Structure 1
C-alpha cells in the first residue's frame, strides 16, 4: 500500500513535469498541471501527516512528529482510562452478564454426561495435585492448631452443661436409663451365685455357711425385686433422684467454678499434647488416603457420586427458573463487586503492558495494524488535492481571466 500511494505521487510528479513543459504549446495542459500540482501537495501533506504519527519524517526531528513512540506511555494510560470508563463500568458489565444467561448455559453444559465426567476428571486431577503440593506436617499443624483453638481452648463445662440440660428437658435420657435398668435386672437375674458369694465374703467368720447362703439368696431376691420395681415404675424414687442429680450436675457444669475446673482437668488429661498431635496426624492421613483412593478410581463411590451431583446440579440450573435466577444474581453481584473494586487494576494491565513495550516496536505494531487504512488516506489526499487544485485553478481563471 505504501508503494501504491508513493507510486501515485510519482505519477503525478511526472504528469506535472510534462504538462508544465508543454502548457505553452497546449494551453489545456494548464488544467492538467494544476490538478497534478494539487495532487502532489495533497499527497506530500498526507505523507507527512501519516509518517509523523510513527517516526520523524526523513529523520528530521520536527516538533510534534514521531507521536506514537514519543507519547507511547501517555497513549497507554489514556487507553487504559478509556477502557476503565467505558468498558469496565459496573452497569455495563452487569447488564452484559445478565443478558448472557450464564447459569442456564452452564447448566445445559453440565447436564451432559460427557461434560460432567470431564468436570469430575478435572476435579480429581486438582485434588491429586493439591495432595502432592501440600506438606503433610504443615497440614497436621493446621489441624492441630484448629483443634486447640476451637475444641480444646474453649471451656467444656458450660456448653456440655447446656447440652445435657436440653437432653434432660426433652426426655431423651429416659431411654438410656431404661436400658441401664434393663441391663441391671438381667445381670441380677443371671448372677445369683455372684451375689451369694459377695454376701458370704462380707459375712463374719462365725456365721455358719448355710446361713450365708440363705442370707445371700434373700439379698438376691430383694435386690431383684428392687430392680424390677425401678424397671416397672417410671416415677420410681430412684429415677426421680437420678433426674434430680443430673439436673444439679448440669447447673454445676455451667456455673460452679469447681465443677468447671474438674471438667477442664478431665479434658486436658484425656486430650494432652501427644494425643492431639496423634489425632491430627491420623485425621489428615485418613482423609488424604481416602481422597486419593477415591479420586484415583473413576468407578469409586465418591467419583460416581460427584459426577452424578454435577449432572444433577446442571439439570437443576437449566430447568429451575428460581435457582437459575439466584445463581445469575450471585454472578452479577460478584462481577459488579470485582469491577467496582478492581477495575482500575484490570485497566492498569493495559497501561503497564504498553509501558513495557519498546517505543519503536510499538510504533511498528500499530502501523502494521492500521497502516493499510493510513495509506488509503494518502491516496485519498492525492485525489482530493488533485480535484482541489483543478477547482482552484479553474475558478481563478473564470474570475480573473
Structure 2
C-alpha cells in the first residue's frame, strides 16, 4: 500500500508502474474482501447452526475458505516481507535472498539463452543478411545510413586531437619512409623500369624539347660564342663560328632524336642501369642517397608534412560529410544501396554474411557471456533489498493475488467436501 502511494506521487498517472500498482492494489482488496466475506458467513452459520442444521455445511465451506485464504495469504506475503512483521523462519524470501536470486537468474540466462548453439540456431533461421538487404534497398534507407555514418565520422573527427593524429602520421612516415634506406629500393625500382624500357618515353620527351629549344634559340647560342671569343677576333668571324656551332648542335640533336639506337641513347641507358646497380650495392652511392634524403626530409620537414597531411584529410572529410551533394556521400550512398541489392539477390553472398554474423555472435557469446550476465547479477546486488522486493511484487504481485482468491475458493470446496464425507461416514 505504501509502495502504491509512493508511485502515485512520484510518476505520472499513466506510467506503466502506476497502472501496475493500481491493479495490484485492486486485486489485494478483492482477495481481502473475499476473506472477510468467508469470515462473516462462518460467523452467521456457526451462530445459527443449532436452529438450522443444514448451515453446518455452509459453516464447513466458509471455514475451509478462511483456512485456504489465510494459508495462501501467508505464502504470498512470505515471498516479499515478514507476515505482520513477525520474523518467522523462511519468510521475506526475496529481500533476504536477493543476491542469490540475481545470481541464479544470471546463471539461468547464461545457460539457456546465451549458449553458442542456441544463438547459432536462432541466427541461422533469421536470415539477417536478407532482411538488412531488403531494408537497405528501400527508398531513404541508404540515405539514412549515409547520414548516420556522416554524423559518426564528424563526431570522430571532432573528438580526435590534431597533435595525436599528427604524431601517428609522423611516426608512420619515420617508420616506413625515413628509417629504411632509400638507395636499394629506389635502385631496384629503377632497374625494373630501365630493363622494361619505360624510361625511353621520358628520354624522347627530353630530346624533343631540347631539339626544339636549340632550333628556336639561334641568337642565344651565337651570343654565347661572341661573349666568350677573344676581343681581337672580328665580329663577322664570331658570327660565322656561332652559326656553325648552332648548326652542328642542331644536327647532333636531330640525329639523337631520329635514331633510337644512337650512341648517346645507348650510353644514357648504360649510365642509368649502372646507377640503379650502384644504388643497390655501392655503399658510397647508398650513403649519398641517404644524405639527399636527410637534406630533403629533416625533422622540421617531416613534422610539417604530417601536419599538412592531416589538415588536408580533415578538411576534405569535413567538407564531404557536411555537403549532401558531395561525391563521397553520393558514392557511399550508392555503394550502400548496391550492397543491399546484392544481399537480396546474391544467395552466396547472403549466406557468407549470415555465416559471418552467426560466427561473430557465437564467438562473442562464448567469450563474453559471463560478462553479459554479470549485468543482471551486479544490478540486482546494487538494489536495496526492500526496493527489490517491491519491484518484483509490482511485476508479478497481481497474478499472485489470484493464488489467494483460488485458495479461498478451493479451501471452501475442500472444507465442504471433507465435512460432507465425514458426515456420511460417521453420521
Q: Does 1:353 align with 2:379?
A: yes
Deviates more, 1:46-55 or 1:26-35: 26-35
Give the aligned partner of residue 267 of structure 1: 293
CA deviations over 1:277-299 (Å, ceiling 9, x no partner)? 22222222222333333333323
SS at match of 1:68: helix
SS at match of 2:125: helix
Q: 2:148 aligns with which of 122, 132, 135?
A: 122
Q: 2:410 aligns with which of 380, 384, 393?
A: 384
Matches within 5 A, 1:171-190: 171-190=197-216
Matches within 5 A, 1:257-336: 257-336=283-362
CA distance in 1, matches of 2:253, 2:362: 71
Q: 1:339 aligns with which of 362, 365, 386?
A: 365
Query: Aligned-pair distance for 1:314?
Result: 2.8
Give the aligned partner of residue 123 of structure 2: 97
CA contact (8 A) 1:113 1:311 kept: no
Q: 2:66 aligns with which of 25, 40, 57?
A: 40
CA deviations over 1:159-188 (Å, ceiling 9, x no partner)? 222222222233221211221222232233
**Alignment CA distance shift 1:95-1:165 (3 Å):** farther
Matches within 5 A, 1:75-86: 75-86=101-112
CA contact (8 A) 1:161 1:253 kept: yes
CA distance in 2, matches of 1:378, 1:387: 14
CA distance in 1, matches of 2:134, 2:40: 68
SS at match of 1:350: helix
Q: 2:263 aligns with which of 237, 244, 252?
A: 237
Deviates more, 1:369-378 or 1:119-128: 119-128
SS at match of 1:100: coil
Matches within 5 A, 1:119-198: 119-198=145-224
CA distance in 1, matches of 2:271, 2:124: 63
Q: TM-score, normalised by structure 2?
A: 0.84
Q: 1:64 aligns with which of 74, 90, 93?
A: 90
Q: Does 1:4 align with 2:30?
A: yes
Query: Aligned-pair distance for 1:65?
Result: 0.8
CA distance in 1, matches of 2:321, 2:294: 37
CA deviations over 1:53-97 (Å, ceiling 9, x no partner)? 000111111111111111111111111111111111222223323
CA distance in 2, matches of 1:225, 1:23: 146
Q: 1:225 aligns with which of 251, 254, 271?
A: 251
CA contact (8 A) 1:110 1:116 kept: yes
SS at match of 2:89: coil
Query: Aligned-pair distance for 1:198?
Result: 4.2
Give the aligned partner of residue 79 of structure 2: 53
CA contact (8 A) 1:34 1:393 kept: yes
CA distance in 2, matches of 1:263, 1:326: 49
CA deviations over 1:329-379 (Å, ceiling 9, x no partner)? 332222222222222111111111111212111111111111121111111
Q: TM-score, normalised by structure 1?
A: 0.89
SS at match of 2:57: helix
Query: Aligned-pair distance for 1:44?
Result: 1.5
Give the aligned partner of residue 246 of structure 1: 272
Query: Aligned-pair distance for 1:196?
Result: 4.1
**Alignment CA distance shift 1:91-1:165 (3 Å):** farther
Query: Aligned-pair distance for 1:204?
Result: 6.4
CA distance in 1, matches of 2:280, 2:365: 50
How well do the aligned residues superpose, as a CA RMSD in angstroms? 2.6
Gapped regions of structure 1 (runs ≥ 5) = none
CA distance in 2, matches of 1:24, 1:134: 92
SS at match of 1:252: helix
CA distance in 1, matches of 2:389, 2:145: 44
CA distance in 1, matches of 2:425, 2:287: 117
Query: Aligned-pair distance for 1:205?
Result: 6.6
Give the aligned partner of residue 5 of structure 2: none
CA contact (8 A) 1:38 1:388 kept: yes
